[in-house]
Amino acid sequence: MPRGPWHEEVDLVVVGASVGGLAAAVVAADRGCRTIVVERTKELGGGAASEAEMIAAAGSRWQRAAGIEDGPERLAAEVLAATHQQVEPELAAALAAQGAPVVAWLADRCGAHVELFREHGAAGHSVARLHGPGERGGASLSADLARAASRHSHVSVRTGTLAERLVRDDSGAVRGVSVRGERRGAGQALGARVLLACGGFAGDDALVAEHCPAVAPLPFQGGARATGDGLRLGREAGGATRRLASFLVTPLLATPGHFVPSAPLVDLGAVLVNQAGRRFADETAESLPLATIVRAQPGRVAYLLFGEPTAAAARAADPFFARVVLPRTGRRGATLEDLAKQFELDAEGLRLTVESLASGGDPFGRKRPAGPLEPPFHAIRVTGARWRSLGGLAVDPTARVLDAQGQPIPGLYAAGGAAAGLGGEGTEGLLAGVETLAALGLARLAALDVIAQVTATEDTPPE
């Protein structure tokens, strides 16, 4: 890289210590690239700790061991079908091809305890291909990656550091980034190729209202800082954007706790009731209208109600739900009266609701049947929320940020919440596990491209 007025020069600066940012740093550093990770907060891993962080990986060795035939082409086709062809086919293909290498790398390089969720029948996936990164889901993944990055001799992790702007040369290429410690005065200029791996913009009310006004009334309750820093930095450098109206919203955010139940509880028979113990909607409806209806209930909350058979099936389908979500957010009652007392629900209304489930038919038009519920009973208090923006900076199949003409901006990459990944327009169509696949896959692709460029520079003889 050309010399410049830098306080430090390295091969790669990663903006954001998300799981993608940490992964990119380790991949690049393992091949000899000097890497700096700058993180605005004091925490590593972004919002991963509150999520299952399942990874859709097609053709993995775990699938082969289970006798499951699968491949990247199949996964890419299912992503395109779910998003109604709104994702770029070349991006879907490139990321689908990253799944198996990513989960293998997590296990072999980072020591992650990867397991295939064979019982998790996720909608849109034709075979079992969701892989979990450990007993505590995203918390395990964050810990594994943070340990690998923090202990690496070629990686410097700097928390409490804000990326203020990208530094570009006269041609428009990104040559570095200007950073400043949040509690330490003067800034520094770091010369390097730059990967934007910071969060999306779901926490910025103005940006949400501008790009997806339908979800703006829902509160932001995501686990990570999501103020659009990556989007701002990339746009200032000339980056184009894609699918900024693509959002992940949920009607089932556990409160308190801020977990979204990762197991398919509604598919397994759970129902929503309000404080009066009565159902009020079709629980299988699309996420945005259902989240809005939940927020319209007394106290802006509802209760996800299910019996022991559903709880047992959910535990078997999803270890993260069994080990983290249910113990931290759920309540259990031997009788409906016991459960009603714990949440101060109307016990008679709850009893009538459960009795009606056994009578057949559904007053709300639910097509997938609910119940009957069998004791002991379980419930989780939930609310509607916006969880994450899925659109962002336009990237090519090597994670390079594209300008308005569709050309890559030299020296600039994006992954995670800063990049437009595998979600379609609107609030539906995101397949389980592809968001984490996109974050880690783009991070790996960016690191590999940086490695190739550094190697090519080192191999070029001086003139």
User: Which H or E element spans position 273?
Assistant: strand 271-273
Got the DSSP string for 90-159?
HHHHHHHTTHHHHHHHHHHTT----EE-TT---TT-SS--EEE-STTTHHHHHHHHHHHHHT-TTEEEEE
Task: Say if residue 372 is preceded by a cis peptide, omega within 30 of 0.
Answer: yes
Copy the structure tokens of residue 282: 């079709």
| DSSP H helical ranges for 212-276 | 229-236
CA distance linking residue 158 with residue 143, whole number of Å: 16
Q: What percent of the chain has pLDDT over 70?
A: 96
CA angle, corner 221, sides to 195 and 233, nearest 5? Answer: 25
CA distance linking residue 208 with residue 228, whole number of Å: 10
**Amino acid in the structure at residue 394:** A
pLDDT, residue 150, reads 96
What digits encode the pLDDT tens for the residues 360-403?
778 999 988 886 799 999 999 999 999 999 999 999 999 999 99
Domain with CATH 3.90.700.10 in the chain: 248-386
Dihedrals phi, psi of 238, to nearest 5 degrees? 95, 10
Domain with CATH 3.50.50.60 in the chain: 8-245+390-459
Decide which of 3.90.226.10, 2.60.120.10, 2.130.10.10, 3.90.700.10 is the CATH code for 248-386.
3.90.700.10
CA distance linking residue 78 with residue 80, whole number of Å: 5
User: Which H or E element spans position 309?
Assistant: helix 308-317
pLDDT, residue 1, reads 41
Copy the structure tokens of residue 58: 């097609």
User: How far does Cα 102 stand from its chain's mean position?
Assistant: 15
- Say which DSSP state 308 is in: H
Copy the structure tokens of residue 118: 């064979």
Q: Per-residue pLDDT for 157 more than 90?
A: yes
What digits encode the pLDDT tens for the residues 161-200?
999 999 999 999 999 999 998 766 678 999 999 999 998 9
- Say which DSSP state 461 is in: P
CA distance linking residue 174 with residue 159, whole number of Å: 22
Count CA atoms within 13 Å of residue 117 on its CB side.
Answer: 33
Q: Which residues partner with 36 through β-bridges?
A: 13, 156
pLDDT, residue 404, reads 97
Copy the structure tokens of residue 377: 């009973």
**Amino acid in the structure at residue 341:** K
Q: Per-residue pLDDT for 462 more than 60?
A: no
CA distance linking residue 139 with residue 249, whole number of Å: 21
Q: Which residues partner with 351 through β-bridges?
A: none
CA distance linking residue 182 with residue 167, whole number of Å: 19
**Amino acid in the structure at residue 358:** A
**Longest Cα–Cα distance in the chain:** 86
CA distance linking residue 171 with residue 361, whole number of Å: 66
Section 48-65 average pLDDT: 94
Reduce the DSSP state of residue 1 to 3 states and report it.
coil
pLDDT, residue 2, reads 43
SS (H, E, C) 61-93: HHHHHCCCCCCHHHHHHHHHHHCCCCCCHHHHH
Contact predicate 391/242, CB 8 Å? yes
Q: How sure is the predictor about 459, in pLDDT bands with cuts at 50, 70 and 90?
A: low
Copy the structure tokens of residue 54: 């399942």
pLDDT, residue 120, reads 60
Q: Per-residue pLDDT for 457 more than 90?
A: no
Count CA atoms within 13 Å of residue 265 on its CB side.
Answer: 29
CA distance linking residue 212 with residue 202, whole number of Å: 10
pLDDT, residue 4, reads 56
Q: 3-state SS of the chain: helix, strand, coil percent to 5? A: 35, 25, 45
- Give the β-pairing of 400-402 and 392-393: unpaired
Decide which of 3.40.50.720, 3.40.190.10, 3.50.50.60, 3.90.1150.10 is the CATH code for 8-245+390-459.
3.50.50.60
